[in-house]
Amino acid sequence: MSEHAFPVLHTLFLWWFSTGLIVYLDGLPTRTFRWSLMGAGAIAAVALYVLAAGRSDTTVSGAYIAFTAALAVWGWNEISFLMGLVTGPRRLPCPPGAAGWERLRHAVGAVAYHEISIAVSAVLVAALTWGGENQIGLWTFLLLWAMRLSAKINVYLGVANLGQEFLPDHLKYLASYFRKRPMNAFFPLSVTASTLVLVPLIQAAGDTAADGFTAAGFTFLATLMALALLEHWLMVLPLPAVALWSWYLAARDDA
């Protein structure tokens, strides 16, 4: 039981806490960004070293460390984007009336550097763990990347809940690239594909023949995928997802 319960709780806590912390930090005065970025960068550098050093560690603790380290590398990409350090060549709202390829071109320009940064990070994680038996860190990072890209596409095409409350003031212009509508044609495809990935992850985590490393590793991945799937559904369901991080948002606004 503990080989599943503890990884689930570990994932839930990191998902909630890290999201809230980043939301809080990127809402602070810009004079604090230097220190936040330096701190996040140092943590990410240590995380990359840990991933490389533990690429052959197939103990339960090795799974915990690889998963947590991958989240730290992902966190650097998130915080550097939300603090405006790595966004895109276009830092203006979408022109009124832009549609089709023009709107897409402007939207890609608004986040292009961020996407390149994620791709470079993925290559780094893959290179540093290449040939090792512990690939939990790489799978974690790739899962986060795929699900975040899916979420961005859905927000671009249109969903009911856009999550613009999480955008700091210096990135409010990004909301002009969002589209508000009940649902879009890509949404059912994205949640179906995500569910099809989630099912075998759960099966692998619950395999009675799996060792501790495999059980913990796949439990991390399954829980993370389930949370990403939940985030997708919260984009279309009439539920106050922002309430999960209301304390962080309130503290940010008071700062």
Give every CB contact of residue 16 below 8 A, 6+ residues apart in sequence.
244, 245
Give pLDDT tens digits for 33-76. Answer: 999 999 999 999 999 999 999 999 999 999 999 999 999 999 99
- Which residue is it, tokens 């503890």? 6
Tens of pLDDT along 66-117? 999 999 999 999 999 999 999 999 999 999 989 999 999 999 999 999 999 9
CB count in 10 Å sphere of residue 26: 25
Q: What is the pLDDT of residue 165?
A: 82
Spatial contact of 147 and 194, defined as CB atoms under 8 Å apart: yes
pLDDT at 254 over 70: no
Give the pLDDT of residue 196: 98
Phi, psi at 129, each rounded to 5°: -105, 5
What pLDDT does 209 receive? 86
Looking at residue 114, its pLDDT comes to: 98
Q: How far apart are CA 161 and CA 236, in angstroms?
A: 6
Distance from C-alpha of 112 to C-alpha of 89, rounded to nearest angstrom: 7
Phi, then psi, of 76 in degrees rounded to 5: -60, -45
What pLDDT is stored for residue 248 in this prediction? 65
Cβ count within 10 A of residue 75: 20
> Mutual orientation of helices 60-82 and 33-53 as an angle, nearest 10°?
150
pLDDT at 200: 97
pLDDT for residue 144: 98
Tens digit of each residue's pLDDT (9 = 90 or more) over 189-227: 999 999 999 999 999 999 888 899 999 999 999 999 999
Q: What percent of the chain has pLDDT over 90?
A: 83
Provide the residue type at 131 as one letter.
G
> Distance between the two ends of the chain, CA-based, in angstroms?
42
* Spatial distance between the Cα atoms of 138 and 135, rounded to a whole number of angstroms: 5
State how far the Cα of 203 lies from the Cα of 205, in Å rounded to an integer: 5
Q: How many angstroms separate the CA atoms of 196 and 200, rounded?
A: 7
Tracing tokens 């249109």 back to the chain, one arrives at 158
Q: 144 near 75, Cβ under 8 Å?
A: no
Phi, psi of 161 (to 5 degrees): -115, 110
Let me know: does 117 contact 86? Beta carbons within 8 Å: yes
Q: Kindly report the average pLDDT of the chain as a whole number.
A: 93
Q: What is the value of pTM for the model shown?
A: 0.95
